Amino acid sequence: MAKKYLLFGLGRTNLALLDLILKVEPEVLIQISLDGDVTQVPINLRPLYLPFTELPNHSFDAIFVVPGVPASHPVYDMGQVHNEIEYAARFMQKTRFIGITGSVGKSTATMLLSSMLRHLGYTSEVAGNIGIPLSSLAIKAFDQEPPDFVVLELSSFQLHVLKGLCLDTAILLNLEPNHLDWHRSYQEYQTDKLRIFDFLDAGRLGLCSKDLMHRPKAGKVLPLDSCHRGLGLNGSEIWFQNAKIGNVPEAVASFAWSYSCCAGMLQLLGLYEKSRFEDFSFSGLNHRMQTIGTVKGVRFIDDSKSTAPASTMFALRSMPEENFTLILGGKSKGVNLSVFIKDLCEFKQRISLLVLYGDMIPMALEFKQAGFFVIFARQWEEMLLGLMENREFWGSAVLLSPAMSSLDQFVSFEARGIAFREFIQKI
């Protein structure tokens, strides 16, 4: 009897997976389902559609769920749930995989490491939570030489169901409360993030935030921020197990910590050569602390990718301006915002204007009681109008670092960042 797969959800990963399955297992019976009705399914795929209410009447050999479906969804109780990454990796046997996760900075580290590998002369791609779906890379690998490396940014959603992946090295950069609208508890979020080390190939080592060293399996990881026992950064010097292995190039000084983490992973792979990186440069990511314009001496920074309080705090610590405006808001991810407000008080004397929109508005009174000058509006456009009406309070910069998801009023954080750029261009 032919195998039967269910693809639950039609995000970009499952659409790419569908193409891969049709190429490598054309005999498999594929069904598609989602929470909505058939009108949300592309016309050409509607013959594969199965209403969610009918799923209990069927059995499947594998269920592939898109990352946006939360852990509490009943589809997870139907059987073996998988991720497209593990399926696609089976068809890229010549490629070496590196895994990166964390609450803050994982996209920057992923792109940076891939850039460093290319600088060394290797072919490298990024996939997982950023880049293109691994299934798309697997399809390409049938017709052309596969990349030497794929650097995978792995979200907690993906790690929640991931099975059967072999990583040459892995890193857990840090861990802060996030995605509590998806996970059933912070404990589950922690557990899923730490699962990245379960996929280290035999004899391989990873790097882990030293605060979490008591959690991973013994012998599999070395600590971050520890010059003696693991990987550490002392000024611009990179230390690995009590030996200096190099310096952060001047051109990437603003990414010093991320660069040191990537150097540590290359060291674990036996690939780091400090002399090869003296001329290395890296421009960073779009929508991550990206200066998008200056208007009458005021710098505008797009940090729309900061969708959690920890990311926003990371951004604030890199702000050189003494006085600036901060824009917060979007769709809540279930994080305790009272803790965030207390943390934000570190910058109270420097934040000249605090602008709130969306799900951040219920916290307006608490922000005011903490001593912030606050304006707010529910909708994005109304918020921008209020920002313009209070331009005398802007200070030297205006920072969009929302600490919340963009999915209340935008399809992605990229779309939110583009809308902010368009606003700047009209001033």
Residue 218 predicted with pLDDT over 60: no
Give the chain's largest Cα–Cα span: 71
- Structure confidence by residue, pLDDT tens digits, 240-273: 999 999 999 999 998 999 999 999 999 999 999 9
For residues 362-386, average pLDDT: 97
Cβ atoms of 17 and 90 closer than 8 Å: no
In this prediction, residue 200 has a pLDDT band, given cuts at 50, 70 and 90, of very high
Distance CA 62, CA 55 (A): 13
Provide the b/e sequence for 131-155 (b: ≥16 CB within 10 Å): bebbbbbbbebeeeebbbbbbbbbb
Give the integer Cα–Cα distance in Å for 48 and 138. Answer: 23
Fold category of 290-426 in CATH: Protein-Tyrosine Phosphatase; Chain A (3.90.190)
Angle between helices 12-24 and 134-141 (to 10 degrees): 30
Name the residue among 280, 252, 284, 269 with its Cα closest to residue 149: 269
Cβ-count burial 160-186 (b if 16+ within 10 Å, e if not): bbbeebebbbbbbbbbbbbbbebbeeb
Q: Kindly report the backbone phi and psi dihedral angles of residue 368, in degrees, each rounded to the nearest multiple of 5, phi listed first.
A: -65, -40
SS3 string, 157-169, reads: HHHHHCCCCCECE
**Using CA atoms, how far apart are residues 8 and 58, in angstroms rounded to an integer?**
14
Q: Is pLDDT above 90 for 186?
A: no
Q: What is the pLDDT of residue 80?
A: 86
Q: Any idea where the domains of the chain sit in the sequence? A: 4-82, 86-277, 290-426
In what helix (H) or strand (E) does residue 384 lie, and over which residues does it extend?
Answer: helix 380-389
User: What is the per-residue pLDDT across 66-125, written as a single tens digit (0 to 9) for each?
Assistant: 988 888 899 998 888 999 999 999 999 999 999 999 988 999 999 999 999 999 999 999
Instruction: Give percent of the chain with pLDDT exceeding 90.
Output: 82
pLDDT at res. 37: 82
| 8 A C-beta contact, residue 359 and residue 332 | yes
Fold of 86-277: UDP-N-acetylmuramoyl-L-alanine:D-glutamate ligase (3.40.1190)
Q: Is the dihedral of CA 284, 401, 130, 195 positive or negative?
A: positive
Walk across the sheet containing 374-377 and list its strands: 290-295, 298-302, 397-400, 324-330, 351-358, 374-377
- pLDDT digit string (tens) for 129-162? 999 999 999 999 999 999 999 999 999 999 999 9
* Neighbour tally for 74: CB within 10 Å: 9
- Mapping DSSP to helix (H, G, I), strand (E, B) and coil, where does residue 225 land? coil
- SS3 category, 150: strand
Distances (CA, A) of 308 to 75, 180, 195, 216: 27, 11, 21, 24
Look at residue 179 in the predicted model and tell me its pLDDT. 79
Confidence tier at 216 by pLDDT (50, 70, 90): low
> In what order do the strands lie in the sheet containing 62-65?
29-33, 4-8, 62-65, 81-82
**Mind listing the pLDDT tens digit for each residue in 264-307?**
999 999 999 989 999 999 988 999 999 999 999 999 999 999 99
Q: How does residue 219 score in pLDDT terms, banded at 50, 70 and 90?
A: low
Q: What pLDDT, in 10s, does the model give residues 35-75?
A: 888 888 889 999 999 999 999 999 999 999 998 888 889 99
Residue 125: DSSP 8-state: E
Beta-carbon contacts of residue 11 (< 8 Å; ≥ 6 apart): 66, 67, 68
* Secondary structure E strands in 385-427: 397-400
**What topology does CATH give the domain 4-82?**
Rossmann fold (3.40.50)
Mean pLDDT of the chain, nearest integer: 94
Please give the C-alpha separations between residue 406 and each of 29, 134, 307, 321, 414, in angstroms, as whole numbers.
36, 24, 7, 26, 9
Looking from the CA of 21 toward its CB, the CA atoms found within 13 Å total 24
Please indicate whether the domains covering 86-277 and 290-426 agree at the CATH topology level. no
The distance in angstroms from the start CA to the end CA of the chain is 64
Q: What is the pTM of this model?
A: 0.88
